[in-house]
Amino acid sequence: MTDKKQIVIKKQVVDDSLANLLETSKGIYAALLSSTDGHALAKKAVDELSDARLAAMTSSCLALGEKIAIEAQQVGCNFVIIQNTNGFLVMRRVGKKLVITTLANNNVNLGMVISATNVAAENLEKEIRV
């Protein structure tokens, strides 16, 4: 079974995980599940979210974060975080081939976003074995 077919079958699990992530806090306004080679697979967002470009960019960013960690002789890159004036992006690998990205504004604590992203990722890893 291909990874994408498996994700289609588990669509409800994916949708529920992303919805739960958004429900954690009003500050979390979007979540995106994409493949590590840059394809958007599922999203949940309060407003419109242009997912195709974001999926490709998060794929580049995650790969770079993981390589920089190795170059700095650190191991096990858990999260790549982009902290901005008006919000955060938190990226976390899900299994071998997926990445989840959480977008939040400043009304939520970064630790909370990381924790919620982690819970969603662990749930997806358990349910979709890719």
Partner 1 sequence: MSELKLVITGTAGVGKTTAIQSLSDRPPIATESETTDELSEIKSTTTVAFDFGEIYLDDGNVVHVYGTPGQERFRHMWEIVAEGAIGFIILVDSSRDDPVADLKMYIDNFKTFIDETSAVIGVTRINEFNGQCIEDLYCFLEKEALFYPIMAVDPRDKSDMSQLMLSLLAMLEYG
Alpha-carbon gap, residue 64 to 61, rounded angstroms: 5
Residue 32 or 55 having the CB closest to partner 1: 55
Minimum CB–partner distance for residue 74 and partner 1 (Å) = 15
Interface residues with partner 1 (CB under 8 A) are 2-4, 35-39, 52-53, 55-57, 59-61, 63-64, 66-67, 71, 96-97
Own/partner contacts of 59-62, CB < 8 Å, gap of 24 or more, are 59/34, 59/35, 59/99, 61/91, 62/36, 62/91, 62/93, 62/99
Residue 62 or 108 having the CB closest to partner 1: 62
Minimum CB–partner distance for residue 59 and partner 1 (Å) = 5
Minimum CB–partner distance for residue 50 and partner 1 (Å) = 12
Residue 24 or 58 having the CB closest to partner 1: 58
